[in-house]
Structure 1
Amino acid sequence: MPDIAETAAADRPSHSGVGGDVRAVRRARGLTLTELSGRIGRSVGWLSQIERGISEPTIGDLRRIAAALEQPLSLFFGENQGPERERGHIVRQGARRVLGSAAQGLTEQLLSPDLSGSFEIVRSVFDPGAELAEPARRPTEEAGYLISGRLDLWIGGEVFELHPGDSFRLREEPFRWRNPGREPAVAIWVIAPPVY
């Protein structure tokens, strides 16, 4: 059951920027304002003000929020600093935010202006030989398009070999991937709701 502050915040227009991204990731993780505020040691009111863009968090606050949401601190930086008229609409190639960690041979960039929409667009680069060995499952619907390279994609228990120009869709199904090739595989993913 959502808490009162959550309901009140939901009645206001969504904001882009750090606050909107915090809200989107918190919701994707299934956390209420009360749960996240407890994890970071701050009040529900303070967190609500951050999410609505009324207050700005310090670097220390952002570190605690990122850790509680299991995301890299860099997710909350790199907001589109282009001309005012482009903010929330355009992401220039040099202004993409890096998502997640490259530890598994996967580098991702956010192509969407922020995480406040109903979906996100991500550019994923899979290193040669990289593999997600253990199946993952997310409460999302996802679709993707392989731009270059090769990618083996397991959906449920079935493996599919993807080549440039192939596309796919997942609906809350367990999945894993492997780049069997000698060159990076590049894919564009659309994920709803946002998970980063």
Structure 2
Amino acid sequence: MRHEQPVKTLGADLRALRKARGMKLQDLADTLGRSVGWVSQVERDMSEPSINDLRDMARALDVSVSSLFRVNAAPDEEGLIVRAGARRPIGSRAAGLVEELLSPDLSDDFEVVHSSFAVGAVLEQFVERPTQEVGYIVRGKLDVTIADKTFTLSKGDSFRVKGQPFRWANPYSETCEAVWVIAPPVY
């Protein structure tokens, strides 16, 4: 017996992002200068936002506009499969860091992200967020500072950050690639 999975939508992603940021419908509506009803309709896919609305929502939710667009998947893959050429860009916008969503959408209790750290890329300031994160180094090396301890990680190594301040740097001669699992989603 085959169970059909509900197709995840722009509205579901927007709702997940809003909730991940601890925003209420009213908070987002106030920021956008829109009604709570309109925001609710967008989140339930009953109303389609304009490109200007999407820009405003992306700014309010601190994500790139491109992260809100999806590449169409084959009908039987929607919500289940993410092809390598169909990953959605997301991320912190830190120089030298490219992040792509490996999860089909943002509506789960976690997200999986592919990160590429360019040679010389550095996150200067500590980041601290109410998440649990596990990273796995796929290629290269990366220095990760968690609280007051710095670790050099190589291919095959993994780490966990549990609501602690962290930062990273790639002072090495090769791009570092990592896969991160983050709960709850932050993008």
TM-score, normalization: structure 1?
0.89
Segments of 4+ moved more than 2 angstroms: 100-103
Shift of 1:104: 1.5
Which of 89, 103, 118 matches 1:127? 118
| CA–CA distance in structure 2, aligned partners of residues 103 and 165 of structure 1 | 24
Residue 145 of structure 1 aligns to a residue whose secondary structure is: strand
Residue 76 of structure 2 aligns to a residue whose secondary structure is: helix
Question: Would the aligned equivalents of 2:18 and 2:61 in 1 still touch at CA under 8 Å?
Answer: yes
1:144 equivalent in structure 2: 135
Task: Map residues 9-48 of structure 1 onto 2, 5 A cutoff.
Answer: 16-48=8-40
**TM-aligned CA distance change 1:169 to 1:133, over 3 Å:** same
Q: Which ranges in structure 1 are unaligned for 5 or more consecutive residues?
A: 1-13
Question: Would the aligned equivalents of 1:15 and 1:52 in 2 still touch at CA under 8 Å?
Answer: no
| CA–CA distance in structure 2, aligned partners of residues 80 and 114 of structure 1 | 11
Note if 1:83 corresponds to 2:74: yes
Shift of 1:100: 2.6
Residue 36 of structure 1 aligns to a residue whose secondary structure is: helix
Higher helix share: 1
TM-score, normalization: structure 2?
0.93
Which of 53, 56, 74 matches 2:66? 74
Shift of 1:101: 5.5
Between the aligned residues of both structures, percent identity stands at 52
2:169 equivalent in structure 1: 178
CA RMSD of aligned residues (A): 1.3
Aligned length: 182
| CA–CA distance in structure 1, aligned partners of residues 7 and 75 of structure 2 | 15
Task: Map residues 96-175 of structure 1 onto 2, 5 A cutoff.
Answer: 96-100=87-91, 102-175=93-166
Q: Which ranges in structure 2 are unaligned for 5 or more consecutive residues?
A: 1-5
